[in-house]
Structure 1
Amino acid sequence: MLLRDTLATPRLRLTLLVGDGDLERPVSRVFVTDLPDPRRYLAGGEIVLTGLMWRREPADSEAFVAACAAAGVTAIGAGDAAFGSVPEDLVEACRRHRMPLFEVPVEISFRDVIDEVTPSLWAHRSTGLATVLGRHRGLVAAMAAGARLVDLIQPVAADLGVDCWVLTPTGRLVVGTAALRAGALGELATAFVSAGRLPARVTVDGRRLDVVGVPGRPAHRLASWLLAYAARDAPPDAPDRGTPPEAGDRAAPPVPPDVAAELTSLVAMERVQVDEAVRIERRLADQVGAALAGRGGPGDLGGRLRACGLKPDAMFLAAAVSFTSLSTPPELAVAVCDEIVRPAGEPTVVTGHAIPEAVLAVLAVPPERVAGVLDTIRAAVAVLGPGIGAGRLAVGVSALVNGAEALTGAVAEARHALRTAIARPEPATVVHAGELTSHLLLLAGVPADTRRSFRDRLLGPLVEYDRAHHADLLRTLSVFLASSGSWSRCAALLHVHVNTLRYRIGRIEQLTGRDLTRFEDRVDFFLALRLPSDGDLPFGR
């Protein structure tokens, strides 16, 4: 049922004061309130009837209308009993927030409005359900005949009056009904993976979008697609609806829950088909992993690469991915690795059967595309980072190698880079083999016990002091060295006053007996900070 239908009921004699251009807004129910902020009782799409008992001064109108707009209310109906007419400040507040407002005559009770509108709502819902079921049967039949989401989304979205976008957790566009800038896709993905709960509401390019998840296999948010949707904007020649509540914020009518459910159902059907195709691909990819792990004859690797669509004489990158979380399903790490490398757009094999401690991706990459692929992997990890919670996401990428015969070495190099990434403090990190600097290669020849002793002797006093006093000296030292000894830059990064930083550096020198103005002592600290406390180098002994 639309707002237009409610206002056209002759017996109610309702007078529209604001919102000539919003008569097509859907109505979900009628709600009566005199609370100054009724948001906790609203779900969106309501006609809110109020006797204005909350109004003590003109400023109260702004607060009430803002609350209704934030909750997605379709319209406000104001009774005349309290003031004899609708106050002008309420009219202006509704105009500012693009909130339709109508006047309920004093001789018409709110019960009359409810009794008149509710039967019509149920009738519309019954008709709408039949329409939805018919459309759903048609979509199932179309997909069974070979149609895909990209073929169906435009006509279905147009029929439902919405714009929508389907994205992967890294912001890779699956399908959309309208253009979005590339940066907006990343913003949507970041909001999706980091949202405290779903559905969530996100503002992108001044447009408010609702975001929900469409689960796949495994059932985890980082392996789900996201569906973002909003009611379509009014056409350019629509009547002026007043100034929006925020600059650049295009307030559209709320999308009814049944429309959102129908969109989600359509996307879920596509996701099932994609998951089945991926399951078959993974079987072939695991054969490549088995060959790289030494389980197969000498000529098996080339044939297994061909079966996955990769030419054995291509140039390859190997990427080792480690993802750990408190509640990580076994197959989630494979899905996360796949999501990290797929946006690169190169022929790829992803397998959890090649190396014991991580998932392996093998990408066929032309030399001129290496930098772009690395940038894409880093961008994907950056988007996923806010969604990993207490987990860790580390990626090690090899240098480019020529042909399948060199892949074993590339895998070893990717594992070295991965251990370096794991040793870094950031929760989400990518390390390329080219970043493995000479000092780490030199330290690789030093016995593990010697490395452990060197680190503990130099940094042990700081670790103990931090543990006893929560002083953050170890991090202060690391940031100070990374800032090349710049007091102002280091203080800014640590969000402390320069005098506080000088006190901490003085304490570090006192505890260790070293002088951070001396180059030799800075080098020692630099090396010690890059040795994990268990004595292992980030890329092995």
Structure 2
Amino acid sequence: MDVPSLGLRVLVPGSGEEPGGPDPLDTSLRWLHNTELLDPSGYVRDRELVLTNGLWHDGANAAEFVSNVVRASGAGIVFGLLETTPVTPPDLVRACAAERLPLVELSVTVPFTEVTRQAAAQLAGQRQRELVDTVRRGNDLAAAISRGAGATGVLKVLRRDHRVPLAVIDRMGRVLAADGARPDAEDARRVAEGLKRHPPPLELDLGPSGMAALFLVNTLGGADAALVCLRSLDLLGETEREALTQAAHYLSLEVARTELMRAIESRFAHELLEMILSGSRAAGEVAGRLEAFGIRPDGPLVVAAVALRGEEAPSEAALAKQIGDLLAAEGIPAVVVAGSQDIVAIFPWDEHSGAATELARRIVDSLRDEVVAREVVVGIGGVAENSRELRPSLRQARDACLVLRRGSGRPVAHFAELSSHRLLLGAQDEDVRRRFADSVLGPLRRHDTARGAQLETTVRAFLEHDGHWAATAAELYIHVNTLRNRLAKVAELTGNDVSTTEGRVDVFLALEADALTGQR
């Protein structure tokens, strides 16, 4: 309509006459279709513009032709005038008006081929612009990845041309980058669950946040992340979809690189932990490894052990990254290692040990919103003067963490704050604790297994009730004489009479040592 040489004249503008309605003349056309069939619906595709000279009109009803075009979802009709048909048939105008279908009149002096040529030129120009935009965007995305801008850099490139709320979320529920409103923990969890499906959905209901379109970020391991648009697919145009799909391909390179770097760092961190546990044999290697992580090995260091109360094992990768990010936000370089039962963080510390406890409390408060329905506990070891003294600090931090996991009631504790018997046990090697616990508890467990008895349960209840016979018997639903017989058997098997202070101490320490060793 904007090309003057075509001389097109609007006879029926379509439904755009209604207040607030879309203008049909702004419809994006798929192509043009020339037909003289009364029923062209089998050949006309949706959003195609129908060109006709009305040869079907001789003896036919124009309303039937229009109805067939509407049924095929045609965009409108261009009626080409002929010398034999110098005026557009009035019944065709009435039928188009009744169906609110655009009707345009083409001068007798302009052939349909000229309309098609102009459409082809516009389409070629549009495709050229799209191709140029795709190439330009690809160059910018490649530059962002190569200079280390990461997922955030990719979103900045997209933001330049498309103002849609975006985020990059991985299979662990981690928000790698966000542009616009940052997805909350529940949204990230829903996306992570969606990515674990086979196949992952391309659209996901995020509940209160509404529908979201997922553009999968695939690596060799499958859909490891998604470029999430907080809009449904129906609300995205073709150009936006193509741009987001292209960006997802580039993000796959970034995610694969990040996962590789994370795997390498994790392996180095685990090796560092093994070096520390091996003692003086690897002291020199520990120093070099700490320097590789940006930590001075000749200065004071602190070890913190983090776990989830009541859990056999924490969600290592996600929780370890969160802890590393929190320490980085505090300006503290750290090595964070996800183990089988806890997560260990090693970092430099120039302040007193009490300040480390305050830092741990801040970490717990920050994680409380992220770790739903599970309580985080943090054990702090003593300050090591340098990397050679890390082993005792590591053991202390883990022992303190284990005590907290057993339910001391508080989320953070320094090893020095623990009871004296725990300090004594924590100062021993794990093998020493294990042998001591086995020497006392082993005979009871073998007897209980062979006889189906409950000697260990009985002695635990007796100690928990501070040696009160009646209270213990009531707890176990047995007679006091039965309790005396069981404890006499305990003394016979272990050599420890729990009716005496000395006997109680040995059995109590054995149970505590077993708890510390068994949860490692």
Q: Give the TM-score normalised by the residue count of structure 1.
A: 0.47
More helix by share: 2
Q: Give the TM-score normalised by the residue count of structure 2.
A: 0.49
Structure number with higher relative contact order (C-alpha < 8 Å, ≥ 6 residues apart)? 1
Question: Which structure has the larger Rg?
Answer: 2
